Amino acid sequence: MREAVRSFANRHEPVAKENDTVLIVSGSQQILDFTAKCLCNEGDAVAVEDPAFLGAYNAFRSSGARLVGVPMEEDGVDLAALEAAFAAPDKPRFFYCIPNFQNPTGRTMSLAKRRAVYELSVRYGVPVLEDDPYGELRISGERLPSIKSMDTTGHVIYAGSFSKILCPGMRLAFCVCDKALGAHFVVAKQCCDVHSNVWAQRVCEAMLTRTDMDAHIREIRKIYAAKARLMMAQLDEKCPAIRYIVPEGGMFLWATLPEGVEMPAFVQKCLDQKLALVPGNAFLVDENAPCQSFRMNFSTPTPQQIERGVSIMARVLAECRAPKRG
Ligand SMILES: Cc1ncc(COP(=O)(O)O)c(C=O)c1O
């Protein structure tokens, strides 16, 4: 399995190098947990993209880490803010980022920023945890190199996952990192669940070595591209007041309500009609900060559900904007 994963991870670019370990883990969630467990003591700072994946924040917090949110720009993390975080007296133990089709914003970090993040990581001695579960799911634009592929110094911990390209229920993912850190991860793995399910590993290994994974991935990219296009067209037609970031891949649209419409009330009213949207503040380091955005998922619903869902949003939006009587 580890050999198959190494070939899979390296098929476009050198992700796993000579001095790197490839570890099989039970979902990339597990490597997020192990990174904090192995690198942080209670109260240590961890720099994170803000907003970012809530499951990562919770994993880091569960090890007692204090999250230092670094704001995002259109092409990825704000570099000046990142450098300030790295240079702070309480230097972060690592920096967490999702360079491809970020959860929740769908944003992609530019090539220049990937290089700059690696350079800052080396200069300040702050490892980068590069979480890349969506990288295979590009629906437009050109592939960009991973930060890990630039790593010649062992500063980058790369997390890849089979959840978004095979099956989340298999709970299989992989970590590529420097051998010395990998040895700590092995102990964490033994403490946690000893090893990942071997039956699932055999199935996954057979998929990687005996089927055309690239053809499979091309197929899901086609399906997701059509669904994303449909969702955006539906929003343009039925909810033109809602702005959104056009993602180049992944599974999510990050949408923003017009001023004057309260996001939590909007999301709740949609939920009352069985339409689930995730309130944007759930992905912020400070959950109580004002937030007009919410996350939509385009990979799971059918085209009909997408059309119905956006119609519900349009009705709820009109209701929320209607002048109140009395
Ligand atoms: C950014 C990100 N990282 C990690 C995960 C965890 O994925 P898994 O543990 O299924 O590999 C998710 C799941 O949604 C995610 O969005």
Q: How confident is the model at residue 321 (pLDDT cuts 50, 70, 90)?
A: confident
What's the 58 CA to ligand 1 centre distance in angstroms?
Answer: 12
pLDDT, tens digit, 9 for 90 and up, residues 181-219:
999 999 999 999 999 999 999 999 999 999 999 999 999
What's the 100 CA to ligand 1 centre distance in angstroms?
Answer: 13
Indicate if ligand 1 lies below 6 Å from the C-beta of 28: yes
d(CA 325, CA 38): 58
Q: For residue 104, is the peptide bond before it cis, meaning its omega torsion is within 30 degrees of 0?
A: yes
What is the fold, at CATH topology level, of the domain defined by 2-210?
Aspartate Aminotransferase; domain 2 (3.40.640)
What's the 29 CA to ligand 1 centre distance in angstroms?
Answer: 6
Percent of the chain, pLDDT > 90?
98
CB-side neighbour CA atoms (13 Å) of 48: 29
d(CA 36, CA 15): 22
Residue range(s) of every CATH 3.40.640.10 domain in the chain: 2-210
Atom of ligand 1 nearest to the CA of 173: 11
- State residue 323's pLDDT score: 76
pLDDT, tens digit, 9 for 90 and up, residues 120-145:
999 999 999 999 999 999 999 999 99
List, as own/partner pairs, every contact residues 63-67 make where C-beta atoms lie below 8 angstroms and the sequence separation is at least 24, other chains included.
Answer: 63/33, 63/36, 63/37, 64/40, 65/36, 65/40, 65/93, 67/285
- State residue 325's pLDDT score: 65
End-to-end, the C-alpha distance of the chain in Å comes to 67
C-alpha distance from residue 278 to each of 37, 76, 126, 240 (Å):
28, 21, 31, 20
Which of 29, 100, 167, when mutated, tests ligand 1's pocket best, judged by the most ligand atoms within 8 Å of its CB?
29
Indicate if ligand 1 lies below 6 Å from the C-beta of 168: yes
Q: Tell if the pTM clears 0.75, that is, is over it.
A: yes
C-alpha distance from residue 140 to each of 15, 52, 292 (Å):
22, 22, 27
CATH superfamily of 214-321: Aspartate Aminotransferase, domain 1 (3.90.1150.10)
What's the 192 CA to ligand 1 centre distance in angstroms?
Answer: 18
| Residues 310, 316 contacting (CB under 8 angstroms) | no
